[in-house]
Amino acid sequence: MSTVLYIKANPKPEGASRTFKISDKFIEAYKEHNPDDTIVTLDLYKEGIAFLSAEGVRMHFVEPGEGRSDPILKYAYQFLDADKYVFAEPLWNLSIPAILKAYIDYISVANITFKYTAEGPVGLCNNKKAVNITSRGGNFSEGELVVWEMGDRYLRIILGYLGITDFTTIAADNLDAREQDAEAIIAGAITRAQAFAKSF
Ligand SMILES: Cc1cc2nc3c(=O)[nH]c(=O)nc-3n(C[C@H](O)[C@H](O)[C@H](O)COP(=O)(O)O)c2cc1C
């Protein structure tokens, strides 16, 4: 049995996020295939994730196992304890929403999710997998904008840094292009997400 951490980053009211329309369907399908798994939903806005404070920075220098009940470090331990991760966020200004970056600053902690060695940093989140479900106004999956995309790419790299190299992206592109059928694009992404949920 696995624990799945569902990390959501979007301030829109219930039912309004196009990204969550896709990611919620993914979770629904995943539950059908894995009824005994535990899904932990972490809505970063509801959680009130704030930028790292001076105290938060100070707490980033811990000994292994230390600070499990600390209000910041608890997120790093929660992350470490999960087996699978589902990220859901829109592309904002070519990157992830700032609240998701703030969350990454909470969970990327030396001696909890990675460690420094003489050979360089080593991830401690091993044998885990992640899927990033995202939606975008333009098309960043193909063509000249691919190199401008720094949201999904950042998540892929930072998770690799923590030891998670099994990373899949499900993206709905072009949702704000007037001549495109956004509903059809979302429906296509839902179909891909539901299919992927079987093997995740
Ligand atoms: C603050 C903000 C910044 C955005 N920046 C980009 C961007 O850089 N590139 C892009 O293609 N779309 C951008 N968009 C559009 C969203 O990514 C797109 O509409 C997405 O589908 C919204 O998903 P949601 O309904 O889950 O919020 C931006 C939207 C907002 C609100």
Per residue of the chain (200 residues), give pLDDT as tens: 999 999 999 999 999 999 999 999 999 999 999 999 999 999 999 999 999 999 999 989 899 999 999 999 999 999 999 999 999 999 999 999 999 999 999 999 999 999 999 999 999 999 999 999 999 999 999 999 999 999 999 999 999 999 999 999 999 999 999 999 999 999 999 999 999 999 99
Name the token pair of 71.
Answer: 């209000």
pLDDT at residue number 183: 97
What do you get for the CA distance between the two ends of the chain, in Å? 13
Closest CA to 112 of 86, 85, 83, 73: 73
Dihedral, CA atoms, 111, 96, 78, 34, nearest 10 degrees?
A: -130
Helix (H, G, I), strand (E, B) or coil at 37: coil
- Residue 150 CA to residue 89 CA, distance in Å, equals 13
Tell me, in angstroms, the distance from the centre of ligand 1 to residue 95's CA: 10
- Residues 5 and 40 sit within 8 Å (Cβ to Cβ): yes
Prediction pTM value:
0.98
- Residue with the two structure tokens 């990327």: 108
Residues 6+ apart with CB under 8 A from 75: 103, 106, 107
- Residue 78 CA to residue 67 CA, distance in Å, equals 12
Pocket of ligand 1 from Cβ distances under 6 Å = 10, 12, 17-19, 90-94, 135-138, 175-176
Atom of ligand 1 nearest to the CA of 138: 11
Q: Whose CA is nearest to atom 15 of ligand 1?
A: 137
Beta bridge partners of 41: 6
Tell me, in angstroms, the distance from the centre of ligand 1 to residue 160's CA: 25
Q: What is the CATH number of domain 3-197?
A: 3.40.50.360
